[in-house]
Structure 1
């Protein structure tokens, strides 16, 4: 509902009454929170942001499971509300490469539960879209439940059906933060004390964040949209442009809003080969273009909406419409549209505009509670397509501690606002990266694609040696991490008969050297740079009791012992897998993976630590080497006086010792299933640590090992990877990690696990191997039984030691028994596969325990 008097206090204040802010408010109140206030700088419901000038097209299928599921929920929510036109969506292909990509669309849609995805012939495309030139296309992808959201109608529906108080024409001037907690939202109409605040200002996300002293990497970028004059070819629409179906007085640019109010009567379309999309507006045609150079907007220039309440900064430029300016396209938007939709060639445009969308450095949303300010949440970089879903996810997260949709818990690692590295908030960085993501909106992005700008930001102490060894660097979180080393090219000849050739999509940005490094590590000894991994120091009075409360396993261990455990949310979902090392009576080291893990999981521990316990995330403070392989003990013993025999240094124990002159905390653990150690040293000693081991191991043929090798080796052993095999959408029993849960202890998530056990575990993770192919199957591809999807590939690679292609998947428990036959669809091929017992390699652990 909408009221007139701004309250002096509210449990939750949401800044932004567009698609996302309204969705969060609606879902919070649906969950029982009746003290929610929503403010916006524009009038209601036509606020003037991208929610009211966007054409509202909903294409649901994405390589990302959470994006697809959020979009599907959004389409169902708005369909039930009566503000969604389910006309279907068709993506056309004008190249063989794009046609291959559309086949992937079908596979992703099948995996993630979209109804009835179809590939269409050119003739079938034109049956749905008769304006399309059949001779220009090779086919299309059809999703029947795609469509269009009536943006203004949806905003009005939210306001009328949400038990929150909405206030328009209210400008937020400050966010009061005291002691690291949000205290109040200050506006030009008064101050609102609050316990929680949600930033849902999208185009203004960066500016809003700065009010609280945080740098949110939200880059606004403009793109173009035009609407033709009425067309005879669309006279069957039944309505004429200008019929204002919203019943609202629309301020400012009335023309564009009148056109946006018209529902499409044919499927919405995309020509991704030329970064274009289109939809009907009654008897006119709307055409949108990403087919121009990125028109970045200074995020600090996003002031209050102008008189016409539009968010764009530049006027529409025919230069960008009529001339090729996109770095990856050789045709202009107009030329490409003229060829695809010949009826539009000589049409005048009734409306032209620039709209604004926002992008993060990795192109995914920024959702969750910020690290710097407790109680300050974000819901940013979200379009109409996913707005309903993310509003539900965030509301569940805020109210119940478990991000979820009605279909179940969701994986938040790729969307969490805390995932961004410290440098991501620098304006030049995120504006440049946002511009690149804009260019890629409709591009075919290769597997393991790497940016070429802002490189070398974060390097390990081993970086110079790695360059000299011909490292192929991939970037993750700003870190330069070797994927493989050209210095190991000679190993390909040694092991060539055990490294099957891969082709097509699965071969891109891969090297046979990765397989050679795998096999060498199994035979000899390798050094792996783990500097991107992080340690979290937990110390102080009560630190043991605190860790016992947040860890699923029993971590009451002796000094020098190591324990593998999980961090769970209140719903029993896996937030992280960690290694807990007891260094002293009240001092522990908790190690976790690289990427965004330290910022998400370290922050989670910091948020929950009592006053007597200090939690310090040592991201980048340690330089760490994984020394793995059957000769690792021989090499390490040459460099230390410490006893590293099996009796003197047993598996899953730790020692403070010296490697040469370098002080290290050595853990006898191995993520590759071989004898080995992790050697954690202060960063300033890193270069000497590398040199010491390298020089001592020359006659043992010690080699560097890249990150590409890690994946195949850990899959052979069935070791889990957070964000890939395990996340908040799985509990430990489903993930095969019951050994990391001690139900005799008290920990966060235990009650949910007890309930899950009582109900029965109906989904389990299993390894599959292909019956008669050495092809690598790719993640997100459907696993089928009797032609019906029962799961999808979580992770896949070739197991060079076992000589078989491996895929991990979650399947219903009735299909989890070893020997069950299934099929996997990948890259248009059907592969016979068999469920296997795990681990596939060294089930007796003879190699790791030697």
Structure 2
């Protein structure tokens, strides 16, 4: 419902009346929420944001499960609403490398449930898309449910089918978040008191965040789009241009909205080898280009609508269309289109624009609760995924569980709290956004690493690691070693146990990773865990608080350590943590690095009572993982404390000195070997490394990188949050029932018990390849009887067991040892077998020695 008057109060205010804001409001209404107000600075429905200047093309397939799932949900929702043209989508290939990429498209689509993905030969592409010259391509990928959304029509549909009040021409001037709680939204037409506020302003996301005191890394960029005059080759399609927006207020060039409202009759297309996409607008041809240098927009000055222009549309820059300015392309957009679509060669352009949209530093959306109570983010989302993310945010707000109708979703990679402390600095996120723009249609190699803004966060061991030839990768801003060139001599020692890897799977991988794995099993290694985080929970009632937050029984003795989970209200795994009791009212909760501190630390902090303090010690402590059969001997050389099997048993902790360094030692190991985590104040870190290193020289102590950690934890069956487990799985599905004590009362218990009563439909299980040593890749379909029944969550080679290992969730009746399955990866079908876990040391003799 549209309204002229601005309400003075509402339970929920949605800032932004475009695709995402409307979707959030619609889904909140569907879930029973009332008293919702949607405000936008532009007229409704033609707001002046990217929702109305976009051509509406929707390609659903992505290497990301959540992006594919949200796209498919969006296409189904908008199709039922009658505002979606399901004409199919075709991505063409002009190179062997791109054909390989399109095979990956098929595999991702099958893994994540898109219907009937197909590879086409050039003639089959031309049959469906007769504008394409088949002699210019090697083939194509066809997804029959891809298509185009009518942007203005969809916004009108949302308005008519939502119980929210929509108010246009209302500029938001401030968001009052006093006392850590959202209080009101201040506009140029008055104040709206509210309990919840959703930021859904996309291009203005950074500016909106600043109104609430947040630095959200939302980088606006321009890209180009043109629509030709009518073409003879499309004359049969006809046209209704001129009648779509006649009764609407349209800022700027009305022709843009007219042509964007004209639907396609042919499949939508992409030529990613040249960063291009296209569709017909009735009898005209629309062509979009990322094939130019990144045109970043100052995130602080997006501006407003004027009589002459739409706020998110800039003037067309012909040089970027006609000259090759993209750093990775040697052909201009026009030249590439002329080759692929010969009918466009001499066509005049009826519409031209440089339209603005946004990227985050990692190219993923920013959704979910912010660090301010009641303030939500729904940013960096395209039309393609808008329906799905609107549903996810609404479910999250109303029921505490991010989900789609198909079930809970994994949110670690899209959570607004995932960003590192430095990510909100404009110079950083604008540059990283530019990189994402540059790569949007590029073939990005596995384990690719950025080159800019490196060395931001370095552990105290960095200089030693650098001297040892560390191959650094960046994770959460930290420089973390993947392997060490100083260990190259180990490759010859273990040559018979390290199979060669070839092709796509071998890129940015080294046999040294396997050698470090095997050496750790034989001797002793040091692993830099500084990027991992500790969370101190202390104060009166801290034990009872953690008991409520943890799924396991954490009523433990001082010095005891317990593995547990943090669950959301739906029983999904929000984190796996290690809880250490330091004193009567003091605990240390350890968790991973990357996005863990922001997501997990804030979850504990926002639930803590007034008597309990939660301190996220990101970077305050440094940690060495000391692992391997000789680790006890090495540690005992450096300390007067008793670290024997009885003096420091498994899953116990002890304060001790390593040399002069004060350390909290945990008798735990993430690699399935005898070992310790040694936590120390960061300023002591360098001395900690030096002390252990010197004491272990005669024991052949070696540094160990993240590659070895991954293969060791997989063959041992240890879970990794954000990869094997996330909010889309519960502990029973994830094979972690030992981390649940139903005799205690914890967040998510009721939902978890209901799920167990209903029956666990899917369970995680390891599979091994029957006759291949190839390393599989994540997101590839696992098949049974020719049908996709799961997909690869994580995979590596198990050097200690001599088999290629993958983890997948399978229907419970298939997740039984001995079940034969297949995996489709890089166009090859691999035979595999379901196995019992753990694959390595099932008796736990090595870790308990």
- The TM tier, using the shorter chain, reads over 0.9
Task: Give the TM-score normalised by the residue count of structure 2.
Answer: 0.99
Matched-pair contact (CA < 8 Å) for 2:71–2:385: yes
Shift of 1:374: 1.4
Please give the alpha-carbon distance, in whole angstroms, between the structure 1 residues aligned to 2:671 and 2:482.
16
Alignment of 1:593-632 (within 5 A): 593-632=592-631
SS in 2 for 1:814: coil
Aligned to 2:659: 660
Q: Is the 8 A contact 1:668 1:678 kept in 2?
A: yes
- Residue 543 of structure 2 is matched in structure 1 by 544
1:828 aligns with 2:827: yes
State the partner residue of 2:839: 840
Aligned to 1:68: 68
Corresponding residue number in structure 2 for 1:502: 501
1:243 CA drift (Å): 4.2
Give yes or no for the alignment of 1:188 onto 2:188: yes
**How far did 1:762 drift?**
1.4
Q: Shift in Å at residue 307 of structure 1?
A: 2.2
The two structures, once aligned, show a CA RMSD in angstroms of 0.9
Distance 2:487 2:283 in 1: 63
Q: Which residue of 2 aligns with 1:357?
A: 357
Please report how far the alpha carbon of residue 313 of structure 1 lies from its aligned counterpart in structure 2 after TM superposition: 6.0
Secondary structure of 1:301's match?
A: coil
**1:46 corresponding residue in structure 2:** 46
Deviations along 1:717-740, one digit per CA (max 9) or x if unpaired, are 000000000000000000000000
Pair 1:239 & 2:239 matched = yes
Report if aligned partners of 1:230, 1:241 keep a CA contact under 8 Å in 2: no
Shift in Å at residue 7 of structure 1? 1.2
TM-score for the superposition, normalised by structure 1:
0.99
**2:724 and 2:749 mapped to 1: Cα distance?**
21
Q: Which residue of 2 aligns with 1:671?
A: 670
Structure 2 distance, partners of 1:288, 1:751, is 50
What is aligned with 1:18?
18
**CA-CA distance at 1:311 after TM superposition:** 2.9
How far apart are the structure 2 equivalents of 1:545 and 1:681?
27
Aligned to 2:715: 716
What is the DSSP-based 3-state SS (H/G/I as helix, E as strand, rest coil) of the residue aligned with 1:635? helix
Post-superposition Cα deviations, 1:295-338, rounded to whole Å, max 9, x if no partner, equal 00001111222224513464211110000000111100000000
- Contact preservation (8 Å) 2:43, 2:250: no
1:497 is paired with a residue whose SS is helix
**Structure 2: any 5+ residue segments left out of the alignment?**
none
Contact between 1:245 and 1:262, CA under 8 Å: does it hold in 2?
A: no
What is the deviation of 1:477?
1.0
* Residue matched to 1:754: 753
For residues 414-453 of structure 1, give each alpha carbon's deviation from its aligned partner in whole angstroms, at most 9, with x where no partner exists.
Answer: 0000000000000000000001100111011111110100
C-alpha distance in 2 between matches for 1:17 and 1:733: 40
Distance (Å, rounded) in 1 between the aligned partners of 2:620 and 2:541: 25
Is the contact between residue 48 and residue 251 of structure 2 (CA under 8 Å) also seen in structure 1? no
Q: Contact conserved, 1:770 with 1:833, CA < 8 A, in 2?
A: yes
1:441 aligned partner: 440
**SS of residue in 2 equivalent to 1:435:** helix
Name the SS of the counterpart of 2:813 in structure 1. helix
Q: Is the 8 A contact 2:742 2:749 kept in 1?
A: yes
State the Cα deviation string for residues 261-306 of structure 1 (Å, max 9, x = none): 1100000000000000000001000000000000000011112222
- Aligned equivalents of 2:108 and 2:318: distance in 1? 37
Q: Secondary structure at the match of 2:417?
A: helix
1:792 aligns with 2:791: yes
Q: Does 1:261 align with 2:261?
A: yes
Q: Distance in 2 between matches of 1:166 and 1:317?
A: 35
Q: Hey, what does 1:649 align to over in structure 2?
A: 648
Cα distance in 1 between the residues matched to 2:560 and 2:28: 44
1:673-712 matches, within 5 Å, as 673-712=672-711
2:174 pairs with 1:136: no
Correspondence for 2:230: 230
Q: Distance in 2 between matches of 1:743 and 1:308?
A: 64
Hey, what does 1:849 align to over in structure 2? Answer: 848
Residue 578 of structure 1 corresponds to 577
Displacement after TM superposition at 1:834 (Å): 0.2
What is the CA deviation profile of residues 747-793 of structure 1, one whole-angstrom value per residue up to 9, with x for unaligned ones? 00000111011111111000000000000011000000010011000
1:249 CA displacement: 4.8
Q: Residue 300 of structure 1: SS of its match in structure 2? A: coil
Task: Kindly indicate whether the alpha-carbon contact (under 8 Å) linking 2:93 and 2:138 is maintained by their aligned counterparts in 1.
Answer: yes
Residues 153-204 of structure 1: CA deviation (Å, up to 9, x unaligned): 0000001110000000000011111111110000011101111101100000
Deviations 1:386-425 (A, max 9, x none): 0000000000001100000000000000000000000000
- My pick for the range that moved more, 439-448 or 524-533, is 439-448
Please state whether the residue corresponding to 1:484 is helix, strand or coil.
strand
**Aligned to 1:765, what secondary structure does the other structure show?**
strand
CA contact (8 A) 1:243 1:262 kept: no
Shift of 1:251: 3.8
**Match of residue 85 from structure 2:** 85
Structure 2 distance, partners of 1:267, 1:480, is 44
Contact 1:17/1:47 (8 A) holds in 2: yes
Alignment correspondent of 1:212 = 212
Measured against aligned partners, the alpha-carbon deviations of 1:26-60 in whole angstroms (never above 9, x if no partner) come to 00011001111000000001101100000000000
Residues 1:562 and 2:584 aligned together:
no
Distance change (3 Å), C-alpha of 1:575 and 1:676: same
Q: Are residue 277 (structure 1) and residue 310 (structure 2) matched?
A: no
Match of 1:811 in 2: 810
Residue 3 of structure 1: how far off its partner (Å): 1.8
**Structure-1 separation of matches of 2:499 and 2:142:** 35
Equivalenced residue count is 849
Structure 2 match to 1:158: 158
Name the SS for the 2:622 alignment partner: strand
Instruction: Assess if the C-alpha contact under 8 Å between 1:153 and 1:246 holds in 2.
Output: no
- Confirm or deny: 8 A CA contact 2:251 2:310 kept in the other structure: no
Q: Secondary structure at the match of 1:815?
A: coil
**Distance of 1:242 and 1:264 partners within structure 2:** 16
Matched ranges for 1:753-772 at <5 A = 753-772=752-771
CA–CA separation in structure 2 for the residues paired with 1:144 and 1:485: 46
